Amino acid sequence: MASVFGVEHKTKLALDEDIFFINIDDKIENLLIAFDEDDETDLEWLQSNYYGKKSPTQEERENKIGLSEYDFVNYAYPKLHHDFRNWWNKKSIECNHIDPLKTHILFITNLYNFPWALLPLKNGAAIGRKFSVSCSHSKLFQNINANNDSLLMTNGKLDSDCFDTILGSDLKRKLAVNGPASLWNRGGYGSVPKNQYPKKAMGIMGLNLQSVSQITAEISGKDNRKFLPSIWIHEGHGHDSGLEIDGESQLFLRGKEILNHLNSVEGIIDFCWLSSCHSIELVHNSRIMQSEKVKTLLGHLGIGDEDGSVVAFEMLVLERIMRGYSVGRAFQLAKSALDPMMSASGSFTLLGDPRLVLFS
């Protein structure tokens, strides 16, 4: 049996919202990944100094855990390669003519593990504070949907029972599934036969992820075939190579295993939210987005900023998604509401098609 049950439902795109593409060619990417005289790349320097915990001897950083907008703009960005900064100073001028209420900015790049949304505008604010910003390796998006309304919410290996109450996991689940309007019944109660209500309700309040095979859904009327869920929201500890889980025979789920599973199961995930440390690096290293089995993904660069600003950010994103905003617009509005010195102002990163509308 699959982990969750759904009915047929087509997730929409906000086709009235435009996309402004910023192409990052190999020359610009190489400025970030070329080794300097210290035998270290700019990207490696950024990761070691700002993606983790602040060193006791580190002066040019305010935030103690994870990547904040303030630290990147004021301390990290000025030390990146001068040719890279010169390129951005010229390229950012093009953004002056973009309507932030109608247009998403999409960086076309293979470097998902760089914080493109934190690049500063002329006023010193990160571009992701004013605009909806996402990243993709291609201008061409998958022109298909999951075509179901299934919602899979999973937990990895957690340190204590306090995880839910401290980090807000319980609040996220309640907001996602409670009430007449919710992410788990977007297809509507009327489309579910009464004898299948128990199936429809299974798994929605969170499953303990023990193996990759649990990332599956069954769809009403599809003869018990397994599909990828329309929405997968996961919370737990993570690394740049995989997720910590609490299985009987497996304690670590590698990114390559996730990729192989996605490729082996019918369908596509409309929206994947990985609330785990280093989840963007995991996706980058495993080339999960290149598989074209995930339309839009939200995750963390570096440590997952484990403080109250994370709960605030996540509630803001979910609340706007539930009001019918595109994921990109919900993401930008939540970013703009945070103080740039807050932990959650920097690490959250959006990949894929920002026009995805999960609830309408």
pLDDT tens-digit readout, 160-203: 554 454 455 677 777 777 766 678 788 776 566 777 777 777 66
- Domain final residue, candidates 89, 118, 136: 136
pTM, entire model:
0.94
Q: Name the nearest CA neighbour of 135 among 100, 108, 155.
A: 108
**Do 314 and 186 sit in the same domain of this protein?**
yes
**Residue 334, Cα to own-chain centre: how many angstroms?**
13
**Do 336 and 212 sit in the same domain of this protein?**
yes
Which residues on neighbouring strands pair with residue 135, listed in sequence order? 107, 351
Task: Give domain status of residue 353, yes or no.
Answer: no
Q: Name the nearest CA neighbour of 345 among 128, 146, 20, 182.
A: 128
Task: Give domain status of residue 321, yes or no.
Answer: yes
Could you list the residue range(s) of the whole structural domain that residue 62 is in? Answer: 18-136
pLDDT of 169 reads 62
Task: Give domain status of residue 354, yes or no.
Answer: no
Which residues on neighbouring strands pair with residue 298, listed in sequence order? 273, 350
Task: Give domain status of residue 44, yes or no.
Answer: yes
Q: Which segments within the chain are labelled E, that is strand?
A: 4-6, 12-13, 18-23, 103-108, 132-136, 151-155, 207-208, 217-219, 226-227, 231-235, 238-239, 242-244, 252-254, 269-275, 294-300, 348-352, 356-357
Q: How do beta strands 252-254 and 242-244 pair?
A: antiparallel
**Do 113 and 216 sit in the same domain of this protein?**
no
**Do 105 and 154 sit in the same domain of this protein?**
no
Cα dist from 125 to 128, 130, 157, 274, whole Å: 8, 8, 36, 26
Cα angle 332-337-339, degrees, rounded to a multiple of 5: 115
**Do 175 and 293 sit in the same domain of this protein?**
yes
**Do 125 and 150 sit in the same domain of this protein?**
no
* Total number of residues shown for the chain: 360
**Do 124 and 234 sit in the same domain of this protein?**
no
- Domain final residue, candidates 136, 158, 178: 136
**Do 192 and 331 sit in the same domain of this protein?**
yes
Task: Give domain status of residue 202, yes or no.
Answer: yes
Which residues on neighbouring strands pair with residue 352, listed in sequence order? 296
Task: Give domain status of residue 349, yes or no.
Answer: no
- Domain final residue, candidates 89, 104, 136: 136
58: left (phi over 0), alpha (psi -120 to 50) or beta: beta
Which segments of 230-353 does DSSP mark as H helices, in order? 255-264, 279-286, 308-322, 327-337, 344-347
Residue 274, helix vs strand vs coil: strand
**Do 167 and 258 sit in the same domain of this protein?**
yes
Task: Give domain status of residue 360, yes or no.
Answer: no
Task: Give domain status of residue 42, yes or no.
Answer: yes
What is the DSSP code string of 152-165?
A: EEEE---S-THHHH
Directed axis angle between helix 82-91 and helix 26-33, to 10°?
140
**Do 158 and 264 sit in the same domain of this protein?**
yes
**Do 119 and 168 sit in the same domain of this protein?**
no
Cα dist from 23 to 80, 91, 100, 142, whole Å: 19, 10, 19, 19
Phi, psi at 55, each rounded to 5°: -75, 145
Residues of the chain short of pLDDT 70, as ranges, are 159-169, 179-181, 189-192, 202-205, 306
Structure tokens that stand for 314 in this block: 């996540």
Structure tokens that stand for 125 in this block: 């604010």
Q: Name the nearest CA neighbour of 148 among 196, 189, 194, 185.
A: 185
Instruction: Give the position of tokens 């291609």.
Output: 138
Total of domains in the chain: 2
**Do 181 and 129 sit in the same domain of this protein?**
no
In angstroms, rounded to a whole number, what is the distance separating the alpha carbons of residues 9 and 219?
Answer: 10
